[in-house]
């Protein structure tokens, strides 16, 4: 069976197994914008271009319609991209899920990574392909191929176009905390991705996105809806000219935002490694936890850069004291060598936000969380070394006091201070070899506070974990739990253990 042969993670296999299940009533009740009258289509000879599990839903639905209604869909060919080398030494080639499904359904398969020098295939009866369907394919179908097909091409896009135009609409719907989304069926544009004529779409306000929804859950919600929309639109002949758009898909240049009919549209670019980078200057604890859940892969991890501490001088040396700045963040004004050399990349794992206050109605939990909040307030103010009575600010700038020296670390520290290398740069004026002033662009450095507070050491999952205190607007702060940390070149270890080598100061 297909599911037994799929060399994909268990989460994807569970999604693919649901292809054989009957959609729930929530799916079947969802309507979408179409024209009332149907148009007559020639029997469709489809070239289906796909890759992932989302595209498998549409291919499965088309194949079922082909079997039930051969007068509408006469044949289906499948185009897939070559498998990727994975595993140790990249010796194993893992083919895409759509190829496994096409083999299961005994459909003709064309494996190509480009349309260059290739023409649309003919059916065994010698008839030409007359419709191209691309779902999560990743390759641009050139005008030459679209012109060879009588009905051009169609694409299922999991968003309310023109909103979230781009290759990662599911991820950005969750990242943007959208309350609703939907599915659009558009033609394949001969100019660029996701700029075709939208011939069917989930009506506004769209499909509600459940609270705390994950990308996988949103995928499982929209994939069957997209497959149903595709087949229903073919039955009604919406692909037959003249095409009748249901929305205006003219949008601003990708990467910008525009206002149309009082709606704000956003671009949905591909998720990359840079999206997994956490910035303690720009991201709150809630944003960091959300980014880990959406962009952090199956492990939900994030990465950042840390300047390790300088080598410890001999005990009693004058240089053993470290003066910390008052401001947060602090630009890098000294050389990187003085700050411990080049920054090291670290990967934060087992990430979650620690909420200071529980949901409404939990009075017992509220009392407990109030105590925890006050505990954080006390530790931050106590670190102010005598100024807590006059300083009510709860942010990290209440921690650092000018000309305050920190000495040896206690054996069981309550907090750690870290120096992060941010992805921002500042202009720093230095003195050159000839005595002239030289302005250099150097990475911005921010100070970070990490503690043991907020964690229940009686629980197995909290043993070895740490809490990052992240400043927020208004002098407040958020809490981010990190269970393990992986330093480049080493394996993941309990976070508290790693703090011994990363912390500039523990106390």
Residue 69 is part of a domain; what is its CATH number? Answer: 3.40.50.170
Verify that 255 and 378 share a domain, yes or no. no
Residue 110: per-residue pLDDT: 96
Domain end: 234, 255, 270, which one?
270
* Shared-domain flag, residues 105 and 172: yes
Report yes or no: 138 and 163 within 8 Å, Cβ to Cβ.
Answer: no
Question: CA–CA separation, 303 vs 291, rounded Å?
Answer: 11
Closest to 303 (Cα-Cα) out of 390, 411, 197, 421 = 421
| 6 touches 13 (CB < 8 A) | yes
Question: Would residue 29 count as lying in a domain?
Answer: no
Same domain, 308 and 457: yes
266 with 278, same domain?
no
Does residue 468 contact residue 455 with C-beta atoms inside 8 Å? no
Where residue 51 falls (left for φ over 0; alpha for ψ -120 to 50; beta otherwise) is alpha
Q: Is residue 8 one of the residues assigned to a domain? A: no
| 71 falls within a domain | yes
Before 45, cis peptide (omega within 30)? no
Residue 12 lies in a domain: no
Q: Are residues 239 and 328 in the same domain?
A: no
Identify whether 6 is part of a domain: no
Domain ranges, residue 175: 41-270
230 and 283 co-located in one domain: no
**Claim to verify: residue 439 and residue 475 sit in the same structural domain:** yes
Residue 20 in any domain: the answer is: no
CA gap 301, 389 in Å, rounded: 39
Of the ranges 94-98, 117-121, 326-330, 464-468, which one carries the lowest mean pLDDT score? 326-330
As beta bridge partners, residue 264 has 259
Summarised one tens digit per residue, pLDDT across range 172-222 is 999 999 999 999 999 999 999 999 999 999 999 999 999 889 999 999 999
pTM reported for the whole predicted model: 0.79
Q: How many structural domains compose the chain?
A: 2
pLDDT value for 31: 46
39-66 residue pLDDT tens: 889 999 999 999 999 999 999 999 999 9
Which of 255, 270, 285 is the last residue before a domain boundary?
Answer: 270
Give the separation between CA 122 and CA 130, rounded to whole angstroms: 10
Residue 400 has pLDDT above 80, yes or no: no
130 and 59 in a common domain: yes
Percent of the chain with pLDDT over 90: 48
Q: What was the pLDDT predicted at 26?
A: 34
Residue 17: predicted pLDDT = 46
Total length of the chain: 507
What residues form DSSP beta bridges with 506? 416
| Listed residues 270, 291, 315: the one ending a domain | 270
Q: Do 490 and 393 share a structural domain? A: yes
- Letter string b/e over residues 291-325, b meaning 16 or more CB atoms within 10 A of that residue's CB: bbbbbbeeebbbbbbbbbbeeeeeeeeeeeeeebe
State residue 251's pLDDT score.
63
Mark whether 191 and 66 lie in a shared domain.
yes
Share of the chain above pLDDT 70, in %: 71
- Residue 73 domain flag: yes
Query: Looking at the structure, do residues 219 and 362 belong to the same domain, yes or no?
Result: no
Tell whether the model's pLDDT for residue 88 goes beyond 90.
no
pLDDT of 205: 93
- Torsion 407-413-414-420 (CA) sign: positive
The answer to whether residue 253 sits within a structural domain is: yes
Domain identity same for 470 and 329: yes
């Amino acid at each position: 069976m297909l599911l037994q042969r799929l060399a994909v993670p268990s989460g994807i296999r569970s999604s693919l197994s649901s292809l054989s299940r009957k959609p729930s009533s929530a799916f079947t009740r969802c309507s979408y914008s179409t024209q009332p009258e149907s148009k007559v289509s020639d029997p469709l000879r489809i070239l289906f271009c796909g890759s992932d599990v989302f595209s498998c839903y549409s291919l499965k639905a088309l194949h079922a319609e082909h079997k039930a209604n051969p007068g509408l869909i006469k044949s289906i060919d499948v185009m897939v991209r070559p498998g990727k080398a994975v595993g140790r030494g990249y010796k194993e080639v893992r083919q895409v899920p759509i190829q496994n499904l096409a083999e299961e359904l005994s459909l003709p398969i064309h494996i190509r990574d480009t349309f260059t020098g290739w023409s649309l295939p003919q059916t065994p009866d010698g008839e030409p392909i007359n419709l191209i369907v691309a779902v999560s394919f990743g390759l641009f179908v050139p005008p030459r191929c679209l012109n060879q097909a009588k009905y051009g091409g169609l694409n299922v896009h999991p968003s309310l176009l023109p909103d979230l135009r781009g290759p990662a609409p599911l991820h950005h719907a969750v990242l943007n905390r959208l309350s609703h989304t939907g599915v659009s069926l558009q033609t394949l544009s001969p100019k660029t991705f996701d700029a075709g004529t939208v011939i069917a779409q989930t009506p506004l306000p769209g499909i509600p996105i459940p609270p705390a929804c994950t990308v996988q859950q949103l995928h499982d919600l929209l994939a069957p809806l997209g497959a149903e929309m595709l087949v229903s639109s073919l039955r009604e002949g919406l692909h037959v000219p003249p095409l009748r758009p249901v929305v205006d898909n003219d949008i601003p240049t990708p990467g910008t935002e525009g206002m149309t009919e009082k709606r704000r549209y956003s671009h949905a670019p591909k998720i990359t490694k840079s999206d997994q980078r956490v910035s303690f200057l720009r991201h709150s604890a809630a944003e960091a936890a959300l980014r880990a859940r959406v962009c952090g892969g199956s492990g939900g991890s994030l990465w950042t850069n840390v300047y390790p501490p300088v080598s410890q001088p001999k005990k009693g040396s004058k240089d053993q004291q470290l003066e910390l700045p008052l401001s947060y963040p602090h630009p890098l004004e000294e050389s990187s060598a003085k700050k411990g050399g080049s920054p090291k990349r670290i990967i934060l794992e087992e990430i979650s936000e620690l909420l200071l206050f529980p949901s409404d109605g939990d009075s017992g939990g509220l009392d407990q969380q109030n105590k925890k909040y006050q505990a954080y307030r006390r530790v931050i103010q106590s670190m102010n070394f005598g100024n807590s009575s006059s300083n009510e600010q709860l942010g990290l700038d209440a921690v650092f006091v000018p000309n305050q020296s920190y000495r040896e670390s206690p054996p069981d520290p309550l907090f750690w201070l870290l120096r992060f290398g941010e992805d921002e740069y500042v202009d720093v004026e230095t003195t050159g070899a000839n005595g002239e002033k030289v302005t250099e662009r150097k990475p911005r450095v921010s100070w970070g506070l990490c503690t043991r507070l907020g964690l229940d050491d009686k629980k197995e999952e909290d043993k070895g974990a740490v809490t990052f205190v992240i400043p927020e607007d208004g002098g407040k702060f958020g809490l981010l739990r990190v269970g393990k940390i992986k330093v480049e070149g080493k394996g993941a270890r309990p976070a508290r253990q790693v703090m011994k080598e990363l912390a500039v100061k523990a106390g």
